[in-house]
Structure 1
Amino acid sequence: MTTSTFNPSTSTNGRTQPAPAQPQKTLRTGMLGIVTAASVAACSAFGGKAAEEPAYNVVIEDGDFQVRDYDGYAIAETMVSPPFDAATRTGFGRLVRYISGANSGRRKIQMTAPVEMEPRGEKIQMTAPVVMSPAEYSGASQGPALAGAAMDSWRMAFVLPEGYTAENSPVPSNPAVMVRDVPPRRVASVRFGGFMSDRNAERERKRLVDWLDDRGIEHQSDWRVAGYNPPWTIPPLRRNEVLVTLR
């Protein structure tokens, strides 16, 4: 898979800075953070790839960190209650049922990657996509964190395959699932291996905050956790990410 090349340059203060990479459109493949039995044949404990990802251009690449320009895409999402592990199981089940035919046309939709989780800081009616992400909560100085007692709910979302929109996607049978469009946007990410957990994600969120602050890059504090591998993948080979939208 072709990605842009990182060529570091040294600034006057001695800090190594990433040079902008030549943007290259990529349609990457990966594995969902949790998968159904039907997808076992396509999975590998050694990081095998199977699921389509939304297309993006890599603008900056610096070790574990990237800045990407994403095209618009559609997601199916749902709101779930903490703790993190229970929220992933509940949300994933709802969304898998939707793409497996629990919708107005009884249509089956191909699974894509990543699965995203976003924490929410206020009680709201359950709705739907697959991404886990946090919302702002009381006392946050830099926007919501990804772990802690302030998490009232999580939003989990699946990215739908290319060509699907909120208008042409089948209507979910479960009112707790909703389909919506995500507009094109610039996103920063940090990649990490090991097991996916809210505490690990919060550790990486802080790394990404420091990386962005060092470069004077402003963000929207809409932190999200993305997982790409089945649970039996060897931990060092897993691909997890924390992402945030840039201003």
Structure 2
Amino acid sequence: MSEQLEEPDYEVTASHTGFEVRSYSDTIQARVRAEGTNWRGSSGGFRRIAGYIFGRNEKKQMIAMTAPVHIWEEVDGTMMAFTMPSEYAMEDLPRPNDGGVHLANISGKSFAALKFTGLSGSRKTERLKKRLMRLVSETGLESSGPAMLAVYDNPNTTLPFLRRNEILIPIHD
């Protein structure tokens, strides 16, 4: 996915052993909630948001794909989000035809980021999430929300050892 795709703007504000802290700019996301709490059970959510950017919206307008796709767990389900290209303001984006796809203004915030390559299965991402939470705590930082998986490359066309992924944990500034 990430080849020549726009990615959200951020600035690295600190580098620590095993992770970095980033300050992200404001963005707009198209989001969908899936039933259950399984990071890997999110393909239905992907198809719904992809439908929105591929023209299933009130204007039948195509919107460029960006990277990464964000996936995180909440109490009542798994969330998935695509960041909209920076050229759009909220009022410029067409309304989704799918009532489960929601557009949201996301205020800039700071995240601890742990990069990894390869597959992003549940066991591996859970282990890396715990590692990053431990590193964040040991550094004296405090998380401010659930960890998320950021997937940059198409798992159907990118060899596992070439895939770029991240675990992101929002932190208090």
- TM-score (normalizing by structure 2): 0.91
C-alpha distance in 2 between matches for 1:53 and 1:212: 24
Hey, what does 1:109 align to over in structure 2?
Answer: 63
Q: Which residue of 1 aligns with 2:106?
A: 182
Percent identity, please.
32
Aligned ranges 1:22-61 → 2 under 5 Å = 31=1, 49-61=3-15
Q: CA separation in 2, counterparts of 1:183 and 1:88?
A: 24
User: What is the identity, as a one-letter code, of the residue corresponding to 2:8?
Assistant: P
Moved over 3 A (4+): 82-85
Give the aligned residue type for 1:67.
V
Deviations 1:103-159 (A, max 9, x none): 11111000000001011212xxxxxxxxxxxxxxxxxxxxxxxxxxxxxx2011101
Report the counterpart of residue 167 of structure 2 in structure 1: 242
How far off its partner does 1:226 sit? 0.7
Q: 1:111 to 1:63 in 2, by over 3 A?
A: farther
Q: Residue 73 of structure 2: which of 99, 119, 122 is its match? A: 119
Indicate if the aligned counterparts of 1:73 and 1:165 stay in contact, CA closer than 8 A. Answer: no
- Is 1:192 the counterpart of 2:111? The answer is no
Q: Answer 1 or 2: higher relative contact order, Cα 8 Å, separation at least 6.
A: 2
Higher Cα Rg: structure 1 or 2?
Answer: 1
Deviation at 1:60, TM superposition (A): 1.7
Displacement of 1:215 = 1.0
* Number of positions where the alignment pairs a residue of Structure 1 with one of Structure 2: 170
Per-residue deviation, residues 15-43 of structure 1 (Å, max 9, x unmatched): xxxxxxxxxxxxxxxx25xxxxxxxxxxx
| Aligned residue identity for 2:86 | E
CA–CA distance in structure 2, aligned partners of residues 206 and 89 of structure 1 = 24
Shift of 1:64: 4.2
- Say which SS state the counterpart of residue 189 (structure 1) adopts: strand
Residue pair 1:114, 1:226 contacting (<8 A) in 2 also:
yes
For 1:164 and 1:178, the matched residues in 2 are separated by 15
CA distance in 1, matches of 2:86, 2:94: 14
TM-score (norm 1): 0.65
Q: Which runs of 5+ in 1 are unaligned?
A: 1-30, 33-48, 123-152
Displacement after TM superposition at 1:192 (Å): 1.2
Q: 1:63, CA displacement in angstroms?
A: 5.4
Residues 81-96 of structure 1: pairs in structure 2 closer than 5 A: 81-82=35-36, 83-85=38-40, 87-96=41-50
- The Cα offsets for residues 77-120 of structure 1, whole Å up to 9 and x where unpaired, read as 101124443x3210111011100111111110000000010112
Displacement of 1:166 in angstroms is 2.9
User: For 1:74, which of 28, 33, 36 is the aligned residue?
Assistant: 28
Tell me which amino acid in the other structure corresponds to 2:105. D
Q: Against the structure 1 CA distance between its residues 66 and 198, is the aligned structure 2 distance closer, same or farther, given a 3 Å change threshold?
A: same
Paired AA for residue 159 in structure 2: I
**Alpha-carbon contact 2:74-2:146 (below 8 Å) kept:** no
CA distance in 2: counterparts of 1:101 and 1:74, whole angstroms? 17
Match of 1:100 in 2: 54
Cα distance between partner residues in 1 of 2:145 and 2:42: 21
Runs of at least 5 residues in structure 2 that lack an aligned partner in the other structure: none
2:28 touches 2:105 (CA, 8 Å); kept in 1? yes
